[in-house]
Structures are given as structure tokens and as C-alpha cells.
Amino acid sequence: MAIKKIGYDKINKTVCGITFDTELQAKTHLPGAGPADECDSNWVILDFDHDPTVDYLTALELNADGTALVNPFAGKTIDEQVALVEKRDSDTKIKKLKGQLKHQVKIIAKDKIQELKWKIDRAKDIDALNGNNDALRAAYQEREDIRVKSNAADTAIEALATLDEVYAYDPKKAF
């Protein structure tokens, strides 16, 4: 085992896949290295007692204090760590993509509700002429139906379990 310098990307929450012997080496090779041998400010360089036979480098994470690297899968074999890292990465990607899908659903719902504005204005006119509120109630029900479909789409998105399912989901079909 040897103390190594490892770059940690604070934005993507992952380590650089290479260890370095010195901080200067790390700064020179990490993204954003410039003439002053300074790496991009998204990176932090930390010491880690790395034994490649025990710790799968990509498994390392920043500790809760943000001051050191830890292996959340310590004690597992390298093969087990690889599988756990792949699952962690897949779960992270699924979560991110689900959030994007939900945002798309909200945008579609908002657009569809805005498209109903003319119907609501027209329904008010019709109801004023007819002396009731039947047309306005129907227009408002259309708007509520869009909200119900949006909520159902959110529930369906949350139930997606694999990347293939997430990729296959089309938010436009929810409406």
C-alpha cells in the first residue's frame, strides 16, 4: 500500500481513474490544467492509502465531511466492488433521467393547460349567454384531466426500474 494523490471531481462526484505520486502530477494531468499547473476548480486532490488489490479505485467516494476519500464497499472483493460501482452508477443515471422525464411531463402539462385558456374564455361567454356554468365546468374538467395525467405520468416514471425502461418512456404519450 502507498499513499497516492487522487483527483476527485466535485461536480460529477467521482474520482479520476488514475493515481498520482505527487500533487503537481495530479494538477498537471487533471482537466483544466493550465500554464500554472492548476487543475480545474471542480477538482480536489486528496491523499488515499491505495492498494489496488483491495480497493477498486472507481469505488472511492468523498466522506461526509468532504475531507477524505473512503471506499463504501471496503471488505468486498474487487469483482464485487466493480459490480456495486456499476449498480451505483446505473442507479444514479436512472435517477437523473427520471428527473428529466418528470420535468418534461410538467412542461407538456403546462403547455396543454395554457392551450385551454381560449376554451375557458369561450366557456365563460357561452355560460353567460345560457345562464349556467356547464361550459366552464367542462373546460375546467379538461384542465384537471391534464393534471391527473401529469400525476399519473410521474407515478409511472417513478416505477421505471431499468435504464432500458427509462430510455423507452415517452412523456408525450402520457397525454
pLDDT at position 37 is: 61
CB 167 within 8 A of CB 100: no
pLDDT string in tens for the chain (175-residue length): 689 999 999 988 999 989 999 988 888 888 775 665 666 788 899 999 999 999 999 999 999 998 999 999 999 999 999 999 999 999 999 999 999 999 999 999 999 999 999 999 999 999 999 999 999 999 999 999 999 999 999 999 999 999 999 999 999 999 9
- The dihedral sign for the CA sequence 119, 124, 128, 131: positive
pLDDT at position 68 is: 96
- Is the pTM for the entire model greater than 0.95? no
CB 19 within 8 A of CB 50: yes
pLDDT at position 65 is: 92
pLDDT at position 89 is: 94
pLDDT at position 173 is: 96
DSSP string, 39-102: --TTEEEEEEEE-TTT--GGG-EE-TTSSSEE-TTTTS-HHHHHHHHHHHHHHHHHHHHHHHHH
pLDDT at position 2 is: 87
pLDDT at position 60 is: 97
pLDDT at position 31 is: 77
CB 82 within 8 A of CB 52: no
